Amino acid sequence: MDASPQKSTLSNSPRILAARDTKIVASDVNVYYGEKHAIKHLSIDIPDRAVSAFIGPSGCGKSTFLRSINRMNDTIDGCRVTGDILVDGKNIYDRDLDVVQLRARVGMVFQKPNPFPKSIFENVAYGPRIHGIAKSKTDLEEIVVGSLKKASLFEEVKDRLDHPGTGLSGGQQQRLCIARAIAVNPEIILMDEPCSALDPIASARIEELIDEIRQNYCIIIVTHSMQQAARVSQLTAFFHLGDLVEFGDTDDMFTTPQDKRTQDYITGRFG
Amino acid sequence: MTDTFDKGNAAFIAKRYSSERRFRAYGAAALAISVLFLVYLIADIGIRAWPSFFEHRAVLEVNLDASKIPAGNVQTGDFEGVVRTAFRGGFPGITARSDLKSLTSLLSAGAADDLRQQTVANPASIGTTVKAGVLLADDADLYLKGMLTDTVKTPGKTNLQLAQSGDEFILTGDLSQLAAGQIVRANGGALRIASIEAGLARAEAVMPPVTLNTLAPGTWDILSFSHAEADRRIDDRQVVWLESLRDKGAIEKHFAWRFFTNGDSREPELAGLRGAIAGSLLTLIVTLSLSVPLGIAAAVYLEEFAPKNKWTEIIEVNINNLAAVPSIIFGLLGLAVFINFMGLPRSAPLVGGLVLALLVLPTIIIASRAAMKAVPPSIKEAALGVGASHQQAVFHHVLPLAVPGILTGTILGVARALGETAPLLMIGMVAFIVDVPKGFTEAATVLPVQIFLWSDLPEVAFQSRTAAAIIVLLGILFCLNAVAIYMRKRFERRW
């Protein structure tokens, strides 16, 4: 019954993985919060240009693992990570790796929309500015407009780019955060329950947006909604109590789960 | 069954409501009491202070005698002399030396200062007679403000016969208006009623009457006082002189600008706050320019960058302890370190500012840390998430959002520094300093110390000056708090 944590998921590699490049390779990752062992011997390969969904009951470690991929866990006191996480073959926990550069490559969208208390323009322009991406003012404007368009927010805000980002509705704020993440040209976008604070209509727009941009990014989304995972992702990983129980093509996962715990969870028997 | 349940429930609910009402009543009562105390305090100080904002001047025709005021060097001219001559000229009947001295003591020691300045500005007036308001001394000023005795003037309504026997004067006729201790002003003189016997009143001359004519109704009046001569700081002669000046319209009341433009003085009517305000300003400049950058830098480091270990914990605890250290200890520290060890000058705003900077540093650090803690972590995460370095996240996002809180804490710290007396006593800022300080190393005093100094002086007029200085200090503090509130509102952002 106990799925051996050491067992690599690579043995029953999902079909999608075979068809695409692998972007992230994690092997034997452990995360500790002080004494608490939050992620246990996790190994997973995540493909590029696809949406991978992490599902599982609260406290199962899916957000923790997500935050390990751009080392946001570094900011938490007492958090310790062992094992290797390779992005494009480069271990992000190497001593010589620059965390700031990593986070520019691995963008993040948070659970609660958190625009800066600045104008819409400044929100998107901040990232390019600190990374020196824009060569000139017109360059910067192009990047901002392009990012807002990619986040399908531009049409709604084009007349009020100088208005505060905090004045937008929740769904618009979240799309603004996505635009902000896109603006620094990341390769990977991590989304930590991006729709949990939004109403169904705003959620649907975010899902549409994810679907539109997935061709260009490696997207990982943590979600509590299995319907959302089913709608938006190509791959799904099920976490339980710090273990990666199952990882596979979303269609397979929701129709023929391999593990009993997965089946119990997606049929609503616990969680 | 349902009925009994409801009843029990109703009693329970009623109890809960009454408890809530009681609690609100306690709160309202506590608030009312504190407001009452505050209003009483402010009103009491305000009423005491009010007279100090005004001064009385005698308007004289002063002959700017060219022999006493050299045109080439107006500044050194004997203006005291010409003012004294002009003042005495209004009372030709007074010749005795002691009387003249008593008369002249009604004038302030600085009575001629204004005239000197006017003449320096306008030398053409030398040799002419000008109309000048000269400042009266503190006791005369207090008398005219009604703070020494309540004087009531009653016009004489009856006929009185006046006779002289030796030094004594006898009044006969309808004596119904008279009482012992009153002064009857008639026939160009003033008589103090010594006693009233059957049908006659014995009186002694305060100013001898020119004639012994019968006093017809309307030609004489009575001055009666709430305080007998022995119980007030001004004698009957001086009262009569001042009243005659007042009757002539030669007394003017003006706003006492010199209270703000003069330095300290031993003469209450000349004492002003300029030295203390300048001292406070210089001290605060030193305090602010030291404690704000240091405090904010320390707060940013401790809150955002310092590793959380034993040492930072010890430092944190001690910063909190420092905020609770009695301020006089900081004064001792300043005395030992800045004056004895480093050899900085005593009584200087530089040292005062250094000591006060140490004093407010913990306050600023604690307020700044609290302000930064109050910034939602999601903002910092967002910045880190787009690849800002830790320092960029703090300086671009956390710190700007914490500015209102930091400003509020800083201004409250400054307000505390502005009102601090004890540590400054230790470093010698408690001296009597007449000159307005012009630099950071000159001897100076500050507002609260000035209040402390004045409150200790025996002159009655200084009591009112003390209250007025308190009002000025409170006014500055209120302004600072208003600025703090305005800045908080101005910079406050929602997220």
Instruction: Point out which residues pair with B254 in neighbouring strands.
Output: B55
Cβ contact B140:B234 at 8 Å: yes
Nearest to A130 among B308, B392, B494 (CB): B392
**Mean pLDDT of the region B110-136:** 89
Of A162, A184, A165, A163, nearest in space to A176 by CA: A165
Looking at the predicted structure, is the pLDDT value of residue A6 above 70? no
**pLDDT at residue B4, rounded to an integer:** 55
State the pLDDT at residue B357.
95
The reported pLDDT for the residue numbered A68 is 92
Residue B91, pLDDT > 90, answer: no
In Å, how far are B154, B160, B167, B195 from B187, measured between CA atoms?
Answer: 16, 12, 16, 20
Q: Pick the closest to residue B224 from B187, B192, B176 (CA basis).
A: B192
Is the pLDDT at B495 greater than 70? The verdict is no
pLDDT tops 90 at residue B424: yes
pLDDT (0 to 100) of residue A271: 56
CA A225/CA A221 separation, integer angstroms: 11
Average pLDDT over residues A108-121: 92
CA distances from B141 to B16, B238, B243, B446, B451 (A): 63, 12, 12, 27, 21
> In chain B, positions 475-494, which contact chain A (CB-CB < 8 Å)?
493-494
| pLDDT > 60? residue A7 | no
Q: Does A112 touch chain B (CB under 8 A)?
A: yes
Which phi and psi (to 5°) does residue A36 adopt?
-75, 130
* Whether A116 and B382 lie within 8 Å, measured CB to CB: yes
Fold assignment, A9-116+185-266: Rossmann fold (3.40.50)
- Chain B residues inside the 8 Å CB shell of A126: 383, 386, 388, 396
* Chain B residues touching A181 at Cβ < 8 A: 385-386
pLDDT (average), residues A168-178:
92
Q: What pLDDT is attached to residue B219? A: 87
Q: Which band of pLDDT confidence, cut at 50, 70 and 90, is reported for residue A13?
A: low
Confidence of residue A9 (pLDDT cuts 50, 70, 90): very low
Reported confidence tier of residue B2, pLDDT bands at 50, 70, 90:
low
Looking at residue B34, its pLDDT comes to: 97
Looking at residue B261, what is its pLDDT? 92
Share above pLDDT 90 across residues of chain B, in percent, rounded to a whole number: 56
- B127-185: pLDDT as tens digits: 889 998 999 999 999 999 988 999 999 998 888 888 888 888 999 888 888 888 899 99
Q: Tell me what the pLDDT averaged over chain A comes to.
A: 87
Beta-bridge mates of residue B63:
B129
Contact status, residue B262 vs residue B270, Cβ threshold 8 Å: yes
Calculate the CA A47 to chain-centre distance: 13
CATH architecture of the region B274-491:
Orthogonal Bundle (1.10)
Domains of chain A, by residue range, sit at 9-116+185-266
pLDDT at B230: 87
Say which range, A233-242, B7-16, B51-60, B98-107, has the weakest mean pLDDT: B7-16
Q: B308 contacts in A (CB within 8 Å)? A: 77
Tell me the domain boundaries of chain B. Answer: 2-51, 274-491
What's the confidence (pLDDT) of residue A11?
44
pLDDT digits (tens, 9 = 90+) for B216-273: 888 899 999 998 888 888 989 999 999 999 999 999 999 999 999 999 999 999 999 9
Q: Kindly indicate the confidence band of residue B67, based on its pLDDT and cuts at 50, 70 and 90.
A: confident
